[in-house]
């Protein structure tokens, strides 16, 4: 009886620890960006949909976030964005052909930026990008990718 009670408490403690870890990942914008790249690498569109503010990304019609393109691409539905960020999508192909350096986050209230540097070693070019995040329903979501240079 005593062993069973200890087992229940250990199980409850593990559940609490696991839920605490997952909420910590969502409370740090930098960790959200790290999780985002992990989901891209695994081609996990469900996880990407949870990390992105797809409605805001759909509104971007003036610039292309797939580094080093001349013309902005316009996405007509969220699935096109998810396809672009997974498998053989243009953005995934370009971003994963370069070294990615995830820098520190800057948080101001309910918004944050995380600078990500993409390094094209073959051409000795670096691209600085600010990932914009905002809190939606208490969790950080990526709403923009803005290339700085």
Identify the helix (H) or strand (E) that includes residue 139. Answer: strand 139-147
All domains in the chain, ordered by first residue: 2-147 (3.10.450.50)
Q: Between these two residues, 23 and 82, which has the higher pLDDT value?
A: 82
Give 66's contacts (C-beta < 8 A, 6+ positions apart).
73, 84, 90, 91, 94, 95
Phi, psi (5° rounding) for residue 142? -80, 125
pLDDT at position 60 is 73
Strand partners for 141 = 134
What pLDDT does 99 receive? 96
Please report the pLDDT score of residue 142 as a whole number.
95
For the cut 70, the answer to whether the pLDDT of residue 55 exceeds it is yes
Q: What is the mean pLDDT of the chain?
A: 82
> Token pair of 9, please?
């408490």
Distance (Å, whole) CA 142 – CA 16:
27
Residue 16 pLDDT level (bands cut at 50, 70, 90): very low
**How many C-beta atoms lie closer than 10 Å to residue 128's C-beta?**
15
Amino acid 26: pLDDT: 61
Model pLDDT for residues 94-146, shown as the tens digit of each residue:
999 999 999 999 999 999 999 999 999 999 999 999 999 999 999 999 999 88
């Amino acid at each position: 009886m005593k062993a069973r009670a200890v087992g229940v408490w250990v199980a409850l403690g593990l559940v609490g620890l696991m839920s605490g870890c997952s909420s910590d990942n969502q409370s740090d914008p930098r960790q959200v960006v790290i999780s985002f790249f992990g989901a891209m690498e695994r081609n996990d569109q469900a996880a990407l949909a949870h990390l992105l503010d797809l409605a805001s990304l759909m509104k971007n019609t003036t610039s292309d976030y797939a580094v080093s393109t001349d013309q902005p691409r316009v996405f007509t539905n969220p699935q096109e964005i998810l396809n672009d960020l997974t498998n053989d999508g243009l953005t995934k192909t370009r971003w994963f052909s370069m070294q990615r350096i995830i820098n520190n986050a800057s948080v101001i209230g309910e918004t944050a930026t995380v600078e990500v540097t993409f390094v094209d070693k073959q051409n000795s070019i670096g691209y600085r990008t600010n990932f914009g995040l905002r809190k939606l329903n208490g969790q950080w979501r990526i709403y923009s990718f803005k290339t700085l240079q």
